[in-house]
Amino acid sequence: MLATVIQLIINGLLLGGIYALISIGLTLIFGVLEIINFAHGEFLMLGMYASYWLFQLFGVDPYLSLLMVIPTFFLVGLAVQRIIIQPIINAPPLNQIFATVGLSLVLQNVALFFWKADYRTVRTAYSTLCLKTGGLMISLPRLVAFVLAIAMISALLMFLKRTYTGKAIRALAQEKRAAMLMGINVYRMYQIAFGIGIACVGAAGAILIPIYYAFPTVGALFVLIAFVVVILGGYNSLVGALIGGLIIGLVEAFSGFFLSPHLKEAVYFVIFILILLFRPTGLFGRG
């Protein structure tokens, strides 16, 4: 029984690291721009397809594709923020919701038009490899995905804490007016923050494709989990998104084993409702 529990903890943490990378981009966008990006899942889907086609057409390993996916999606994020988000940055919240939901539907249907509804994934020489130690089995692709996710999250946190641009983004998230008075180019920081958020979710898609299928509506599945993670960790806490992702990964692993794989979504949505009722700012969020 102890070995089973340890195995579930390992599986949950490996999955939770990917959830954290997906969610940290959503947290950054909301914390700085104060816009809920309902198209976040579709950028994850595009990241999965980008890595898939790089592998199919050019033989680029999914993990090496990060070197192309991250800068490309950062530039895509800059363009989307400038063309779609910037004009509605001060619009009523309902307009912002409709804009991002509309973008989500457009991206889904564009993917459906070009790539149909077929399920696609990447099979490499290491896709089925497992590390065995002490009776435990660790999937190599999941382990690599976890390590890459944690490395990228750590790099992002270091960037936000050590660089001038990172400090400017944090200042803007804390108090917009004070940041403007200090001479920070608010709209430029909006663009960079949105670009980083989209780059994070695009990278999550690239490291997810060796262990999950890509199809036009796959983003809807993961963005719901991302919302739960963001609420659990706190709307504006990147560390909270990391810890929240790990917690949800553990919850999914244990509930799927002890209850039913079909009930694991219900369990973390119950947690979602309870957090909203009793601690709406999340574990680490500000009021």
In this structure, is residue 226 part of a structural domain?
A: yes
Q: Whose CA is closest to 246, among 5, 40, 21, 3? A: 21
What is the number of other CB atoms lying within 10 angstroms of the CB of residue 244?
30
Distances (CA, A) of 220 to 141, 164, 269: 23, 35, 15
- Number of domains into which the chain is organized: 1
The residue-averaged pLDDT of 87-114 equals 93
In this structure, is residue 128 part of a structural domain?
A: no
Q: For the whole model, what pTM was predicted? A: 0.94
In this structure, is residue 283 part of a structural domain?
A: no
- Res. 173: pLDDT tops 80: yes
* Residue 111, domain CATH: 1.10.3470
Helix (H, G, I), strand (E, B) or coil at 133: strand
Tell me which residue range forms the domain holding 46: 2-123+141-278
In this structure, is residue 32 part of a structural domain?
A: yes
In this structure, is residue 134 part of a structural domain?
A: no
In this structure, is residue 273 part of a structural domain?
A: yes
The residue-averaged pLDDT of 89-114 equals 93
- Res. 135: pLDDT tops 80: no
- Res. 15: pLDDT tops 70: yes
For the chain, what is the largest distance between any 2 Cα atoms, rounded to a whole number of angstroms?
Answer: 59
Residue 91 is encoded by which pair of tokens?
């619009």
Mean pLDDT across the chain: 91
**Higher-pLDDT residue of 279, 52:** 52
In this structure, is residue 286 part of a structural domain?
A: no
pLDDT digits (tens, 9 = 90+) for 21-48: 999 999 999 989 888 899 999 999 999 9
In this structure, is residue 182 part of a structural domain?
A: yes
